[in-house]
Structure 1
Amino acid sequence: MKNTNPTDKPGMKKATMIIFAGQNSFMTYKELEFRVIDAISGLYGQNEARSVQRFLFACFSGFDPAGYLLKRNEEADEDFENKIILAIPRLIEFEPVQYITGKTWFCGTELSVRPGVLIPRPETENLVMKIVEKHKSREGISILDIGTGSGAIAISLYLLIGTARIEAIDISEVALSIAKENADENRAVVGFSQIDILDRKASEKLPFFNVIVSNPPYIRQSEKSLMKRNVLDFEPETALFVENSDPLIYYRAIAGFALSHLEPGGELWFEINESEGENLQILLKNLGFRHIEIIPDLNSKPRYAFAQIQ
């Protein structure tokens, strides 16, 4: 993984001087907007560059959208301008804007993210909302999030359902540290444990649950060539990729675990690789699950799986 410390990047000061050459006074927020977009649009494309710029400014300015519009033509304060100056070379290196700012939003909740933890995606928000829609009025439901990462799924389910008992596991100490920080910041009561779901003996100690949910690694190694640099160069490989020879390794382990840790009628929810829906259906059917569904995402791609035990 690349070093993300701006002071350690070769050529950063030179790049910054070139980008801001001739600027002897503070710029307005609007002028800084154009500086960022001009610097990265050739690499990202105009639409994505604008999206990245808006995210960067929202995080660093602290203004809500309406407040920012009122300030847009004013001179930017020195601290804000310095943060933008330091961010541009990192964006040019395709470092995710979420790592640069140290934050992202998921289901309306602000979360901390840093190198070593996967950045939550909008597709996963949709998975959370499907569970919430089904169980928001259910008292005392118990839910386990497997491979919690930043804690996005577990924390959102706690905040949106309210009465749920939530537990979450991950193999990564770094991820669990960030997840606990996010839970504390958002006053979410989640029980976190460091457990490798592939280690059946370690996971056996967990209690029973009404719902088990997971967004495990599902991108095949052969699909790396389809990934963007901001993902390949910076996000943790262990949270993304599986071997071509066994792309369902985590699904098999989680489904097997679920058979012995779901309450009667309990539910299993997955985010999946769009090319593995049929194979996963067969796997779940052979294990004895019922009411198996492969559910499309907002782009009509098969993205989620649902199944129940007897």
Structure 2
Amino acid sequence: MTSFDIFISALLPTFDTREAQSIARIVFEDCFGLQPPQFSHAQLTTAQNEQLQAIQEALLAGQPLQYILGQADFYGLKFKVDPRVLIPRPETEELVEWVLETIKTHYPQQNPSVLDIGTGSGCIPITIAKKTPRATVWGLDVSAAALALAEENAHLNQVEVQWQEQDILNQEAWTSLPIFDLIISNPPYIPQREQVLMPAQVSNHEPHLALFVPDEDPLLFYRSIAAFAQIHLHPTGHLFFECNEYNALEVKQLLEEMGWSDVLLKEDLSGKLRHLGCAR
């Protein structure tokens, strides 16, 4: 058996075959610079075999692959990730795609201003800045540690983003921010009681600050961000959210009751109600 096949076999007690193969492909490509046609006959050095063994042990101990490698792919870009920030998810790429389409449609010649609230790794604003260089892009987070990593990612991807350390729940601080054309957020939305239902790989390693909300008010961030956007969004602007599939309809109802128009929910590629967009 090749090193590639042995690595996959070692992962099978914990991962299914497809997931083990996907992990192996990422490791051999990102760590060893190999392409799929080379996997079956690759001769790893002693150092590479030791690295592969360390990765295998970390995976079997439940650590997320992206944290082990220190990076994640998002919308064709590379981002540094570690336990300071959530690991970017494919469904968030779909939200970014919707935002980029909106910019092309509604701001074909303008230089729109964009704010991402709860930016974490910076994957949303950095991708928008990379794909729409004419935009002025901001990223806001309550975590200074997350913003430090987001700034590293901006340098890595060679874009300019204005970073702001701020708690969006603190209304007194809202005046420090300007008016924007588009506001986006993938806020914390998992009720604390659901932590026991989550994969240990997520609940044991990813930052709870970015994941969980109080059981008694799961729409806390949606309500606060929507209220902020009523003041800090241009009259013709657009607001976007990523949602918990289990209360996405409640978020839609909340926004409609707050007076937002054209409130639209979209399913992600898995068929789950995940993304919401609306206008002033």
Both proteins in one fold, TM over 0.5 = yes
Aligned partner of residue 184 in structure 2, secondary structure: strand
Tell me the CA shift for residue 278 of structure 1: 2.0
Tell me the CA shift for residue 42 of structure 1: 1.2
TM-score (norm 1): 0.86
The aligned residue for residue 261 of structure 2 is 290
CA contact (8 A) 1:213 1:268 kept: yes
Q: Distance in 2 between matches of 1:60 and 1:259?
A: 46
Q: 1:48 aligns with which of 12, 19, 22?
A: 19
Q: 1:158 aligns with which of 109, 129, 132?
A: 129
Q: 2:166 aligns with which of 172, 195, 202?
A: 195
Tell me the CA shift for residue 138 of structure 1: 4.2
Tell me the CA shift for residue 111 of structure 1: 0.6
Q: CA offsets, 1:75-126, max 9 Å, x none? A: 1123322211111111111100100100111000011001121000000000
Q: Distance in 1 between matches of 2:3 and 2:144?
A: 38
CA contact (8 A) 2:4 2:40 kept: no
1:252 alignment partner AA: R
Pair 1:125-2:93 in alignment: yes
Alignment of 1:63-212 (within 5 A): 63=34, 65=35, 68-70=36-38, 72-136=40-104, 137-212=108-183
Moved more, 105-114 or 35-44: 35-44
Of structures 1 and 2, the larger Rg is shown by 1
2:44 alignment partner AA: A
TM-score (norm 2): 0.95
Q: 1:256 aligns with which of 191, 213, 227?
A: 227
Pair 1:218-2:189 in alignment: yes
Task: Check 1:214–1:138 CA distance in 2 against 1; reply closer, same or farther (3 A cut).
Answer: farther
Aligned partner of residue 204 in structure 1, secondary structure: helix
Tell me the CA shift for residue 51 of structure 1: 1.3
5+ unaligned residues in a row in structure 1: which ranges?
A: 1-29
The aligned residue for residue 217 of structure 2 is 246
Aligned partner of residue 131 in structure 1, secondary structure: helix
CA contact (8 A) 1:106 1:152 kept: yes
The aligned residue for residue 16 of structure 1 is none
Tell me the CA shift for residue 298 of structure 1: 1.0
Q: Distance in 2 between matches of 1:32 and 1:225?
A: 36
Aligned partner of residue 282 in structure 1, secondary structure: helix
Q: CA offsets, 1:224-272, max 9 Å, x none? A: 2331111011111111111221100000110010000001111100000
1:196 alignment partner AA: D
Paired-residue identity, %: 37
CA contact (8 A) 2:3 2:42 kept: no
CA contact (8 A) 1:55 1:97 kept: no
1:206 alignment partner AA: L
5+ unaligned residues in a row in structure 2: which ranges?
A: none
Tell me the CA shift for residue 71 of structure 1: 6.1
Q: Distance in 1 between matches of 2:5 and 2:161?
A: 42
Pair 1:35-2:3 in alignment: no
After the TM superposition, which parts of structure 1 deviate over 3 Å for at least 4 consecutive aligned residues? none
Q: Distance in 1 between matches of 2:247 and 2:57?
A: 38
